[in-house]
Amino acid sequence: MIVNLLVGGPVSDWPDDLADHLRQAADDEVWVGADYGAVRLVKCGVKPVLAVGDFDSSMAEEIQLVKEKATKSVIRPKKEDVTDTMLALRYIIQELQFDKIVIYGATGARLDQLLSNLFFVLMPEFKPYCEQIELVDKWNTVKFHLPGTHRLAKLSTTHYLAFVCLNAVADLHLYDAKYQLDGVDFAEPISLSSNEFVGNTTSFSFQSGVVCTIQCHD
């Protein structure tokens, strides 16, 4: 089962078809809203199974609407050791069954929030599930990978491919991308950007660390 999580990032960064998708969402489709993402879901007529956040940017009537429409709502204190997105993921992991979690609205104008939404997968409570989590926006699809050998399928809407070492990564091989590597170690985080697929898939492997792949277009 796919659980969709809408975060409060700018609507302008949503995938082109997301607004239509929300307006036509099936009754059995699973949506979770984090902070203002929950408000946007209910305003689109979607009933979230869960709404989480401090809702500090929401009006009182919007918060009340979320409480009325969401199956479960968690209005958290403003001071917390995790972001609204992380808290929503915590509840998803604890309470819902899922094969994949697709996060929308997690990128946008604020770089601090973007970095938070990339690096949270290194936290012990989320790392075991990172390969089931994707970030999707208008230009990018981000996936996370644990050590091993992986084959990645090319998305028809994207052109570029990046391999981002989120921490120290050992023995990284890029086997059949346009630009290849043969067992390189990286002691610090680094983004190996502007690579490309040669065919419809590409393979890579590494021995330790966490790598995210980003398929993107201008």
Listing DSSP states for 12-32 in one string gives GGS-TTHHHHHHT--TT-EEE
* One-character DSSP codes across the chain: -EEEEE-SS-GGGS-TTHHHHHHT--TT-EEEEETHHHHHHHHTT---SEEEE--TTS-HHHHHHHHHHSSSEEE--S--SS-HHHHHHHHHHHH---SEEEEES--SS-HHHHHHHHHGGGSTTTGGGGGGEEEE-SSEEEEEE-SEEEEEEPPTT--EEEEEESS-EEEEEE-SSSS-EEEEEESS-EEEEEE--SSSEEEEEESBS-EEEEEE--
Residue with tokens 């043969």: 182
Whether 78 has a pLDDT exceeding 70, the answer reads: no
16 with 115: CB under 8 angstroms?
Answer: no
- Rounded Cα distance between 136 and 152, Å, is 16
In terms of Cα–Cα distance, which of 124, 56, 53 is closest to 85? 53
Percent of the chain with pLDDT over 90: 76
- What number is the average pLDDT over the span 90-99? 95
Per-residue confidence band for 85, with pLDDT thresholds at 50, 70 and 90? very high
Q: What is the pLDDT of residue 199?
A: 93
CATH code of 139-218, in short, is: 3.40.50.10240
Q: Could you tell me the strand order of the sheet in which 190-195 lies?
A: 73-75, 50-53, 30-34, 2-6, 100-104, 133-136, 140-145, 211-216, 160-165, 190-195
Model confidence band, residue 80 (pLDDT cutoffs 50, 70, 90): low
pLDDT for the residue 79: 61
Domain 139-218 in the same topology as domain 1-138:
yes
Mean pLDDT is lowest, of 74-88, 104-118, 183-197, for 74-88
Tell me what the pLDDT averaged over the chain comes to.
Answer: 93
Residue 92 has pLDDT above 70, yes or no: yes
pLDDT grade, residue 29 (50/70/90)?
confident
Instruction: Judge whether 37 and 134 are in contact, CB under 8 Å.
Output: no
- Mind giving me the DSSP string for 168-189? -EEEEEE-SSSS-EEEEEESS-
User: Which segment, 54-63, 71-80, 134-143, is predicted with the most confidence on average?
Assistant: 134-143
What class, spelled out in words, does domain 1-138 have in CATH?
alpha beta
Give domain limits for the chain: 1-138, 139-218
